[in-house]
Amino acid sequence: MGPPPRTEVVAIDGPSGAGKSTVAREVASRLGYVYLDTGAMYRAVTLHFVRRGVDLRDGPAVRRALDEIEIDLEEEGRISLNGEDVTREIRSGKVTSRVSQASALPAVRRKMVALQRAIAKRARGVVAEGRDTTTVVFPEASAKFYLDASLSERARRRTSDFLAEGEAVALDEVEEEMAVRDRSDSSRKTSPLRRAEDAIAIDTTETPAWAVVQRVLDEVERRRRTATAAPRPVKRGSSSQGRSRKGR
Ligand code: DC
């Protein structure tokens, strides 16, 4: 059998700390696909705004700053902003505290979504993760997942990530900041975080990452088999009914 005719997209959404990055990175590596960390891209844009001192309420200033930005995803999940490796700096507190506000701006989202689709177009396959990859960026993805976990478990994971990087932060502070960011990511007007109807929900609170990875890989494989099986006949009359409904 030949290669798939188009890029295969596996899309994973969910709130922070649900395990998306660990799972998406591993699934991408197992499939030999590009790992598309959309959150890192929003963080890089935010870093640029912070450095330039851009007032996010100033539309023209935001657009000017956006025009200056070039973002590239490098090997092993590294990210560069105008040629500079900013992989570490985008995780800093000053970026984390502003990223929700910056990523809610429609102009920012337009630019990032276009870039994400362009990256996917050039690749054989991508594993995309974020808040809107299943709903807005790649609604046609071949497999969609929504990862979630309890707030306390997500905060615990984030706190140990910080610790691994040598930063000691209080669990309750992380939990509080996460709750605020969750609310803002889910309630914004443009592309809020929500579970796509056709996304498979996985609660990772008590499931180890390797088991989630396996579940995703199994599902991708199952979808491939279904897609290559003979197409089911279309119900007679359904397309004209569909058209007339849409036309109303
Ligand atoms: O996954 P993360 O914590 O690195 O994401 C950082 C922020 O970026 C998060 O608060 C919401 C935003 N984001 C977004 O709005 N849309 C995406 N597809 C990914 C992230």
238 part of a folded domain? no
Owning domain of residue 184: 8-223
Provide the terminal-to-terminal Cα distance of the chain, rounded to the nearest Å: 43
> Is the Cβ–Cβ distance between 90 and 37 less than 8 Å?
no
Q: Is the pLDDT of residue 243 over 90?
A: no
What is the percent of the chain with per-residue pLDDT over 90, rounded to a whole number? 75
Q: How many domains does the chain have?
A: 1
Coil, strand or helix: which one is 132? Answer: coil
- Residue from 16, 91, 99 whose mutation best tests the ligand 1 pocket (most atoms within 8 A of CB): 99
* Orientation angle between helical segments 20-31 and 209-228, nearest 10 degrees: 50
User: How many C-beta atoms lie closer than 10 Å to residue 108's C-beta?
Assistant: 24
Residues 28-55 have a mean pLDDT of 97
Counting from 1 in the atom list of ligand 1, the atom nearest the Cα of 100 is 10
Pocket of ligand 1 (CB under 6 A): 16, 38-39, 42-43, 99-100, 103, 130-133, 181, 185
Q: Is the pLDDT of residue 233 over 80?
A: no
pLDDT band of residue 6 (cuts 50, 70, 90) is confident
Given the structure tokens 């560069």, which residue do they identify? Answer: 80
Q: What is the pLDDT of residue 229?
A: 77
> 100: CA distance to ligand 1 center in Å?
7
Residues 57-63 have a mean pLDDT of 97
Give the range among 2-6, 42-46, 163-167, 244-248 with minimum mean pLDDT.
Answer: 244-248
Please count the residues of the chain: 248
pLDDT tens digit string along 124-136? 999 999 999 999 9
209 part of a folded domain? yes
Q: CA–CA separation, 145 vs 200, rounded Å?
A: 5
Instruction: Return the residue whose CA atom lies nearest to atom 3 of ligand 1.
Output: 16
Instruction: Return the residue whose CA atom lies nearest to atom 2 of ligand 1.
Output: 39
What is the average pLDDT value for the chain, to the nearest integer?
90
53 part of a folded domain? yes
232 part of a folded domain? no
CATH of the domain at 170: 3.40.50.300
Q: What is the pLDDT of residue 39?
A: 96
Q: What is the pLDDT of residue 3?
A: 45
The pTM of the whole model exceeds 0.85: yes
237 part of a folded domain? no
Residue 25, φ and ψ in degrees, nearest 5: -60, -45
| Identity of the residue numbered 93 | G
pLDDT tens digit string along 177-209? 999 989 988 998 888 999 999 999 999 999 999
Instruction: Return the residue whose CA atom lies nearest to atom 4 of ligand 1.
Output: 39
pLDDT tens digit string along 70-119? 999 988 889 999 999 999 999 988 998 899 999 999 999 999 999 999 99
The dihedral region occupied by 17, where left means phi > 0, alpha psi between -120 and 50, and beta the remainder, is left
Q: What is the pLDDT of residue 72?
A: 94
